[in-house]
Structure 1
Amino acid sequence: MNYNRFLNVTSLSRKPSPIRVLTGILQQAPPSTISMAGGRPNPSLFPINGVSISLSNGTKLDIEPNLVQKALQYSATPGLSEMLDWIKMLQKNIHNPPTLTSTDENQKLDMLVIPGSQDGLCKAFEAMISKKDNVLIEIPSYSGTLAIVKPIGSYYIGVDSDEHGLIPGKLKEALSKWSPEESKNPNSDIPKLLYCIPNGGNPTGHSLTLQRKEEIYRICQDYDLFLIEDDPYYYLQYDQPYIPSFLSMDVDGRVLRFDSFSKLLSSGMRVGVVTGPKAIVNRIALHMQASVMHTSGISQVLMFKVLENMGLEGFKDHVKTVANFYKSQRDACIKAANKHLTGLVEWNVPNSGMFLWMKLMGVSDSFQLITEKAREKEVLFVPGNAFMLDSEKPCPYVRASFSESSPEDMDKAFQRLAEVLIEAKNN
């Protein structure tokens, strides 16, 4: 893998921050080391002496004083060692990536604790996309990702998805104007990057089958595409066993995977993980050195202590509980949709995540209906144009989230939406 091919001039020009490097060195240095090199504040002036957290099962966790002090001080950019070690164990156990023990330093798997996967995605795109690049992106797609990539000024090629996720045939079709050999030509405008959400897609709720994943990976190999696997809903697959990740089949080191704890433990802590080849992960870390410096130490310590208390098997049990809850929410959502929206709306039943993607029948554009008429009925949805590359183009789709609403409220919401659609049809 020629990783420089996937990085832009700005990213390749980033150099390690000397102070950030020293912070990492100091974190691993013997206790007898005397440092007058850094700009760390004196911790004796921090007004926090201790931290404890109460879990929903009644357990109280008192965090060790040395770990509290670690959390309150500047730390190395990759993450606190305790959190990193736990994540490495988790990724090996769940995905067992083929490149985990690669002897190629650039290809060898690396991990980075990031302040939410959104921030990591932003830094990855800013490292890998240049103006006027051709970039392949699953459509419809997460609005947060579109907000990142659109201002860069590249040419985005939408790859359609259906109820089984991104369609391999559509990916081949999008690449049909180029031959695989062109990937070896540095002057070619052939796309170098593919972005997709493989499980419980936001907004569609769709998930890739294993067969499609294998086919997509082979296409990426043929055209030397780098694949960004944005997978915050991996553990929200309703059925076991989990469909293997792209990372788990990545023999080349061409997958950059984003995981998030937001849907599982806490969204406000802002803790995510990026896993991928060291040559790419390091570029994101260098960007972090120049921006946030590192993910919140307190957030990392709180997250680590919760995970440590659970243990690996406890974590697996917890995420199954979370997935089962969303499955029951999905069932209630579909029940309400069948009751009120049959004949007015079309949808596919999601098998993971927390979203229902609906096509309004006989409606060319959902925007006004949802942002005006539905709000007048006191019900909120997201119009589908928010998830399209061309947000000005009419779109008949709507995204509904079933994560928080009770079954009773979902029933009322779809009844109100039905009233809006019937009124619009009659007018």
Structure 2
Amino acid sequence: MARLNRSNIVPGLKRALASTKCLDSVACSDNQRIADYSLFFNEQTKLTKPAPIWRYVEKKSKTPTSGQVWMDGGFPNSIQFPLLKATLTLSDGNEIEITPVEMKRGLQYTSSKGMSKIRRWVDELYRRVHKPPTMDDGGLPSSLALLLTPGGRFGVVQAISMLVEDGGCFLAEEVIYQTISPTFLPRKVRGVPIRSDNEGMDPVHLKQVLSEWDEGSQGRRPHLMYTVPSLSNPTGKTLSEQRKKDLYNVAREFNILILEDDPYYFLQSYLVPSFLSMDTDGRVIRVDSFSKTLSPGCRIGIVFGPKQIVEKMTVIQHPMTGGPNALSQVIISKVVDTWGHDKFLKHMEKVASFYKQRNDTLISYMEKYLTGLCEWTPAGAGMFQWVTLLGVDKSEPVVDRLMERGVFVMDGSIFSLDLASRPNIRLCYSRVSDKQLEKAISTLADVLKELRDIK
């Protein structure tokens, strides 16, 4: 078979993790909560203060709205806005109305945190789906807070920008979501590659890298781990619950924060518990979005994490963007309010089933044409399939020949932490018809045979 079989947890892993001793300020008890996140902030983040206008925002929120006269903010008069109302038709045939009052709200400046109504809806969804242990409203630095951002990518980039010094480093798999690289490379921030197997990041190697870290020659030991744990972009892998627990235990030992970038979570056929759901310490920053569930064009991301981190991110977001798109928030809020949490989750079951079928179809063509030419582990769902090309050292010549024939795939090097060439490609099958899938895979087979001189 051309598939790579899924392996079990690395032998001896539980024994290796059981022998760990907690370092830094975090103990391995289940009730240890992080008390001060400034230890993780870089110097620029520590020096960042709220914009002077922030005091007006705070005062206004604590003053009764009755009788207020607003001559402070630079808000345009909504009388001059050309859009008055709208009717939206959903895919299930239902129609929702955006009233004139809602339209004015969506066309105006709004809170940097995001509108309270949609934040409450997401908050309740997270309580229901993830049941985070630190979601206790206790006011502790590790208690959870929620921020809406201009797309999920913004939250990822901001977290790395806040928590890693210029010239510093963070932990990640050898191949990662490629769009974030241009944001940290100019700051000479580097990713420290952690090996992965068919189940994703290897906790034994993670522990080894951290145990052997020499701050004298390598600089400060990394204290942030980045991961796309569900149906990863680019590899399509999903971390099992046990693998997440093992990685979390290593993170506890070495006092590491986990940046859980999880926009594909609801595309799983079975919802594996998230890092957030097992986070007893308050060391997980979860980044999510509506991009894969409702619409990427709306550009609404979600950051759910320790209060002290999210509040600092809000202070940074305020002068940078003013917050996420208000009209998009109104539209999404109307849709999810109309559905409720039950119908939203039913919708996601339907979406997950669709992508599973697409992956099944892709794999059937790969087995037909690529056996002996490639290796792969079926993603089983999601949008991406990672493929190892056999008999070639790098994917670029293969991708170039495919493009000449009208077939476009992604080079593996684009996703490499070090941007080095590798014999891998990423296939995104979400929008491709069965006929197009067969054409692409058969063309890939032809190209590989030509390069390997196989008749």
Assess same fold via TM > 0.5. yes
Please show how residues 247-262 of structure 1 align to structure 2 within 5 Å.
247-262=276-291
Pair 1:352 & 2:381 matched: yes
Please show how residues 374-393 of structure 1 align to structure 2 within 5 Å.
374-391=402-419, 393=420
Please show how residues 21-420 of structure 1 align to structure 2 within 5 Å.
21-23=55-57, 26=60, 29-101=64-136, 103-178=138-213, 189-239=220-270, 242-370=271-399, 372-391=400-419, 393-420=420-447
Cα deviation 1:128-172 (Å, max 9, x = unaligned): 111222311122111012232222212421012222111111211
Segments of structure 2 that go 5 or more residues without pairing to the other structure are: 1-33
State the AA in 2 paired with 1:388: S
Report the secondary structure of 1:290's partner residue.
helix
Maintained 8 Å contact 2:113/2:314? yes
Pair 1:19 & 2:53 matched: yes
Distance change in 2, residues 1:26/1:351 (3 Å): farther
| CA RMSD, 1 decimal | 1.9
Deviates more, 1:408-417 or 1:66-75: 66-75
Report the secondary structure of 2:93's partner residue.
coil
Cα deviation 1:345-386 (Å, max 9, x = unaligned): 10001133211100100110101220x211111101001000
Cα distance in 2 for partners of 1:30, 1:376 equals: 63
State the AA in 2 paired with 1:87: V
Cα distance in 2 for partners of 1:125, 1:235 equals: 24
Deviates more, 1:86-95 or 1:146-155: 146-155
Please state how far the C-alpha of 1:45 moved relative to its aligned partner: 1.4
Report the secondary structure of 1:316's partner residue.
helix
Please state how far the C-alpha of 1:176 moved relative to its aligned partner: 2.5
Please state how far the C-alpha of 1:65 moved relative to its aligned partner: 2.4
Maintained 8 Å contact 1:23/1:74? no
Maintained 8 Å contact 2:412/2:421? no
Please state how far the C-alpha of 1:273 moved relative to its aligned partner: 0.4
State the AA in 2 paired with 1:172: K
Cα deviation 1:190-225 (Å, max 9, x = unaligned): 111100111100010001011110111111010000
State the AA in 1 paired with 2:256: L
Maintained 8 Å contact 2:184/2:190? no
State the percentage of identical aligned residues.
35
Deviates more, 1:262-271 or 1:48-57: 48-57
Cα distance in 2 for partners of 1:27, 1:66 equals: 20
Maintained 8 Å contact 1:27/1:75? no
Report the secondary structure of 1:400's partner residue.
strand
Please state how far the C-alpha of 1:27 moved relative to its aligned partner: 6.3
Cα distance in 1 for partners of 2:57, 2:451 equals: 62
Report the secondary structure of 2:243's partner residue.
helix
Moved over 6 A (4+): none
State the AA in 1 paired with 2:74: G
Report the secondary structure of 1:136's partner residue.
strand
Aligned to 2:8: none
Scaled by the length of structure 1, the TM-score of the pair is 0.94
Aligned length: 418
Cα distance in 1 for partners of 2:166, 2:391 equals: 38
State the AA in 1 paired with 2:253: D
Report the secondary structure of 1:32's partner residue.
coil
Maintained 8 Å contact 1:206/1:352? no
Distance change in 2, residues 1:145/1:352 (3 Å): farther
Please state how far the C-alpha of 1:26 moved relative to its aligned partner: 4.3
Maintained 8 Å contact 2:137/2:144? yes
Cα distance in 2 for partners of 1:129, 1:274 equals: 18
Segments of structure 1 that go 5 or more residues without pairing to the other structure are: none
Please state how far the C-alpha of 1:314 moved relative to its aligned partner: 0.1
Maintained 8 Å contact 1:402/1:410? yes
Distance change in 2, residues 1:20/1:102 (3 Å): closer
State the AA in 2 paired with 1:14: T
State the AA in 1 paired with 2:442: Q
Report the secondary structure of 2:349's partner residue.
helix
State the AA in 2 paired with 1:5: L
Please state how far the C-alpha of 1:67 moved relative to its aligned partner: 1.9
Report the secondary structure of 2:311's partner residue.
helix
Deviates more, 1:67-76 or 1:148-157: 148-157
State the AA in 1 paired with 2:45: S
Pair 1:424 & 2:454 matched: no
Maintained 8 Å contact 2:87/2:98? yes
State the AA in 1 paired with 2:363: I
Deviates more, 1:154-163 or 1:212-221: 154-163
Cα deviation 1:38-68 (Å, max 9, x = unaligned): 1111111111211221111221111132222
Distance change in 2, residues 1:108/1:97 (3 Å): same
Cα distance in 2 for partners of 1:317, 1:230 equals: 23
